[in-house]
Amino acid sequence: MKHLFVINPIAGKGKGYDIIMPKIKESLSGRDIDYEIYVSGSPEDTVSYTREWAGRGDPVRVYACGGDGTLYNVINGVYGYENAEFAAVPLGSGNDFVRFFGTKEGFTDIDAQIDGTAVKIDGIRCGDHVAINQCSMGMDAEVCAKQRDFKKLPFLSGESAYTASLLYCLKNKRQNRFTITIDDGEPIEKDVLFAFCGNSRFYGGGYMAGPFAVPDDGLLDFSIIETMKLPRLLREINNYKAGRHYKWKETTYLRGKRMTVRSEKQAAVNIDGECEFATECTFEVLPGAFNFVIPTTSSYIEDRRSGRISDKIGV
């Protein structure tokens, strides 16, 4: 098997490269494996490089060394190739996808990654894109999209830009008129904060929007939260982050294979942290679409087998 280490040199504010490169070289020095280290020049570069190797048809494992954006680019490169596996080596600030499976320290252990086991996980199709973690429309997606505008201001960057975007959207984007259809059910038209579709549990820097989602059940978890007044929303933010929002009277939490969201006007769409605008989007499960490497430092495989990680809603 070919092992490809794809490194985003600007991950972790440029510190990720200096952290992970010595670890990779140390681990590889004592192993007789076929490998290549590739420092990516752009998101498009990551997709094309990964796809080119996967398209050769030989067994290949791609290590996405970067943040959630790097991971998104790698999975869009390996999608559709049964011979390809991917591993997540988290170097960014969010690293939301791996939160469900273990710790950042465990996933940056290169020996544990090389010795890890690939398991089948689902994906999400959204138009021409694929995701592995989550997709959404509404206020949370608007925050993601608006952050890019605030980052252009010379006195804002990073967390300060996100905070400015959040405050803006709390004031201006709490009410979104959507028509939502789950699978073949009747369309529901209502004002919502957002409509979330999760293959896994965390996004946005640790918010547990899909508290019962598991990425290997062939289903997606949908969390649809109706518009609420600002004082109540501010009081409930921490409960939402902890995944307790499924109990709210404003929340519809259910499972299915497909969710279509239609908006009366252009609305932001969040696809694993990548944002675009549309009036209609369909998020559909891709059962067993990916081969994801679980490092030896993670107990996910045993926890799933034993039932310690359950997909039962409310448990």
CATH of the domain at 178: 2.60.200.40
Q: Are residues 102 and 164 in the same domain?
A: no
- Total number of domains constituting the chain: 2
Integer-rounded Cα radius of gyration of the chain:
19
pLDDT 10s digits, 16-36: 888 899 999 999 998 999 999
Q: In this predicted structure, what is the pLDDT of residue 11?
A: 86
Rounded to whole angstroms, the Cα distance separating 213 from 195 reads 15
Query: Which of the four pLDDT bands, split at 50, 70 and 90, describes residue 159?
Result: low
DSSP string, 170-234: HHHSS-EEEEEEETTS--EEEEEEEEEEESSSEETTTEESSTT--TTSS-EEEEEEE---HHHHH
pLDDT at residue 109 is higher than 60:
yes
Contact 198, 220 (CB under 8 A): yes
SS3 content of the chain, % helix, strand, coil (to 5): 30, 35, 30
DSSP letter for 241, please: H
Rounded to whole angstroms, the Cα distance separating 197 from 285 reads 10
Q: Are residues 139 and 215 in the same domain?
A: yes
Contact 282, 259 (CB under 8 A): yes
| 3-state SS, residue 113 | helix
Q: Are residues 19 and 98 in the same domain?
A: yes
In-domain check, residue 124: no
Q: Which residues contact 153 (CB under 8 A, 6 or more apart)?
A: 161
Q: In this predicted structure, what is the pLDDT of residue 157?
A: 59
Query: Which of the four pLDDT bands, split at 50, 70 and 90, describes residue 49?
Result: very high
pLDDT 10s digits, 121-141: 999 999 999 999 999 999 989
Q: Are residues 173 and 107 in the same domain?
A: no
Q: Are residues 188 and 260 in the same domain?
A: yes
In-domain check, residue 157: yes
CA atoms within 13 A on the CB side of 257: 6
Rounded to whole angstroms, the Cα distance separating 130 from 97 reads 14
Closest listed residue to residue 145, CA positions, set 268, 278, 279? 268
Query: Which of the four pLDDT bands, split at 50, 70 and 90, describes residue 158?
Result: low
Q: Are residues 54 and 146 in the same domain?
A: no
Q: Are residues 154 and 299 in the same domain?
A: no
In-domain check, residue 165: yes
pLDDT 10s digits, 263-274: 989 999 999 989
- For 257, the domain range is 134-287
In-domain check, residue 313: no
Q: Are residues 146 and 73 in the same domain?
A: no
* First CA to last CA distance, the chain: 40
Q: Are residues 97 and 139 in the same domain?
A: no
Q: Are residues 200 and 247 in the same domain?
A: yes
In-domain check, residue 315: no
Average pLDDT of the chain is 92
In-domain check, residue 125: no
Q: Are residues 148 and 86 in the same domain?
A: no
This prediction's pTM: 0.92
Contact 98, 37 (CB under 8 A): no
Q: Are residues 145 and 217 in the same domain?
A: yes
Contact 254, 268 (CB under 8 A): no
CATH number at residue 66: 3.40.50.10330
Question: What tokens were used for 275?
Answer: 């944002």
In-domain check, residue 73: yes
Rounded to whole angstroms, the Cα distance separating 229 from 238 reads 16
In-domain check, residue 163: yes
